[in-house]
Amino acid sequence: MTTAEKLPVSIPSADQAPDAPSNQPVYSYFQGQFVPLAEAKISIMTHGFAYGTGVFEGIRGYWSESDQQLYFFRLQEHYERLHQSSKILLMPMTLGVEELIALNIELARRSNIRQDCYVRPCTYKSSEVIGVRLHNLQHDTSIIIQAFGNYIDIDRALHVGVSSWRRVDDNAVPARAKITGAYINSAFAKTEAMQNGFDEAIMLTHEGHVSEGSAENFFMVRDGKLITPPVTDNLLEGVTRVTVIELAERVLGLDVVERSIDRTEMYSASEIFLTGTGAQIAPVGEVDHRQIGDGKIGPISRKLQLLYFDVVRGKVAQYKHWLTPTY
């Protein structure tokens, strides 16, 4: 196999994907080719690097020891969202969703990934020019993969604080697109929270409503109902968010309400948790030094955690259609 090799756009059958040697490097999809990650380089003149004009996705793969299988979770939805984000930044993608799914699977096979992992596809302005704009620029798509554990500690209840940094408004930086440059907003909030002794930040809209964490959607339990902000409160339309809503309603029989949430409502919640591809389901035990419930992982949070991990590892037949096997 040459260093750079064109990728197929259809998923090979399992018998076409023999085990790779253990010393095989991790590969990336870059500039239309399959190359070792160490060789995937861009120029410092690249517009996406200089101005943050790119969009990305975060996708998890979960290794099932019992099935000896790597399952990718909701690939269709993630790559559909990448298309939507790209459209907002005037980057119509030439690779279709099914082609991207095929590349994702091939990348994992070529890299011989057999543990929990994280995939980051990115479409970015690839022109090497100076000038702030979105139009009349070339764009390209890359995909990287790496082994990945927990993004934040989900085995205990987190301590979070409301950030002094407000969540970007959709009319300033589109919130429903995962724009690379927009994550400076999240970085400010996350660093402020951690330097103030918290695990994570809660960001408010300019109207003072709860929006999301630095990179997670927000849920709370009050009066037996599961409540989450509406997508119009400047939050990312999370894939894990809609997953949790469906599991809560259809499996646990909970009432789920989407409405604006005031800051002090959090202090009266019986449970709070954050969700996201990276965070998965992360329970919260304190907000602004105020204890939530008994300060530990709440019963609904725990049930959803256990159910979620059964789903993503292929243990729930009802939701196996959300999984794409690799081998």
For the stretch 38-62, pLDDT in tens is 999 999 999 999 999 999 999 999 9
Interval 11-18 mean pLDDT: 37
Domain boundary among the residues 129, 149, 169 is at 149
Within this chain, do residues 96 and 228 fall inside the same structural domain, yes or no?
A: no
C-alpha closest to that of 75 among 325, 327, 287, 283 = 325
| Cα–Cα distance measured from residue 58 to residue 169, given in angstroms and rounded to the nearest whole number | 22
The number of angstroms, rounded, from the C-alpha of 209 to the middle of its chain's C-alpha atoms is 22
Tell me, what amino acid is at 57? E
Indicate the pLDDT class of residue 6, thresholds 50, 70 and 90: very low
Interval 285-306 mean pLDDT: 97
Within this chain, do residues 82 and 184 fall inside the same structural domain, yes or no?
A: no
- Position 8 in a domain: no
| Cα–Cα distance measured from residue 172 to residue 183, given in angstroms and rounded to the nearest whole number | 13
Q: Bridge partners of 28?
A: 35
Q: Which pLDDT belongs to residue 62?
A: 97
Within this chain, do residues 165 and 301 fall inside the same structural domain, yes or no?
A: yes
Within this chain, do residues 218 and 300 fall inside the same structural domain, yes or no?
A: yes
Whether 179 shows a pLDDT value over 60: the answer reads: yes
Weakest mean pLDDT among 7-11, 74-78, 150-154, 185-189: 7-11
Contact (Cβ atoms closer than 8 angstroms) between residue 212 and residue 218: yes
- Position 308 in a domain: yes
Q: Which pLDDT belongs to residue 20?
A: 40
Residue, of 151 and 295, whose pLDDT is higher? 295
Whether 4 shows a pLDDT value over 70: the answer reads: no
Within this chain, do residues 162 and 138 fall inside the same structural domain, yes or no?
A: no
Within this chain, do residues 276 and 191 fall inside the same structural domain, yes or no?
A: yes
Of all residues in the chain, what percent carry a pLDDT higher than 70? 93
Number of domains within the chain:
2
Weakest mean pLDDT among 12-21, 126-135, 246-255: 12-21
Domain boundary among the residues 99, 124, 149 is at 149
Whether 8 shows a pLDDT value over 70: the answer reads: no
Q: Which pLDDT belongs to residue 18?
A: 36
Within this chain, do residues 18 and 142 fall inside the same structural domain, yes or no?
A: yes
Q: Give one DSSP letter per residue of 229-294, joined into a string.
A: --TTTT----HHHHHHHHIIIIIS---EEE---BGGGGGG-SEEEEEETTTEEEEEEEETTEE-TT
Q: Give one DSSP letter per residue of 27-83, joined into a string.
A: EEEETTEEEEGGG----TT-HHHHH--EEE--EEEEEETTTTEEEEE-HHHHHHHHH
- Position 200 in a domain: yes
Indicate the pLDDT class of residue 149, thresholds 50, 70 and 90: confident
- Position 322 in a domain: no
Within this chain, do residues 188 and 228 fall inside the same structural domain, yes or no?
A: yes
> 279: domain CATH number?
3.20.10.10
Within this chain, do residues 216 and 263 fall inside the same structural domain, yes or no?
A: yes
Domain boundary among the residues 149, 177, 208 is at 149
Within this chain, do residues 237 and 265 fall inside the same structural domain, yes or no?
A: yes
Within this chain, do residues 122 and 240 fall inside the same structural domain, yes or no?
A: no
Question: What's the whole-model pTM score?
Answer: 0.91
- Position 317 in a domain: no
- Position 7 in a domain: no
Per the listing, tokens 């919260």 go with: 284
Within this chain, do residues 293 and 162 fall inside the same structural domain, yes or no?
A: yes
**First and final C-alpha spacing in the chain:** 20
Whether 22 shows a pLDDT value over 80: the answer reads: no
Residue, of 16 and 250, whose pLDDT is higher? 250
Q: Which pLDDT belongs to residue 150?
A: 76
Whether 171 shows a pLDDT value over 60: the answer reads: yes
Q: Which pLDDT belongs to residue 24?
A: 65
Q: Which residues are catalytic?
A: 178
Q: Which pLDDT belongs to residue 17?
A: 38
- Position 172 in a domain: yes
pLDDT per position as a tens digit, 71-105: 999 999 999 999 999 999 999 999 999 999 999 99
Q: Which pLDDT belongs to residue 25?
A: 79
Indicate the pLDDT class of residue 154, thresholds 50, 70 and 90: confident
- Position 262 in a domain: yes
> 30: domain CATH number?
3.30.470.10
pLDDT per position as a tens digit, 220-237: 999 999 999 999 999 999
Tell me, what amino acid is at 45? M
Q: Which domain holds residue 222?
A: 158-312
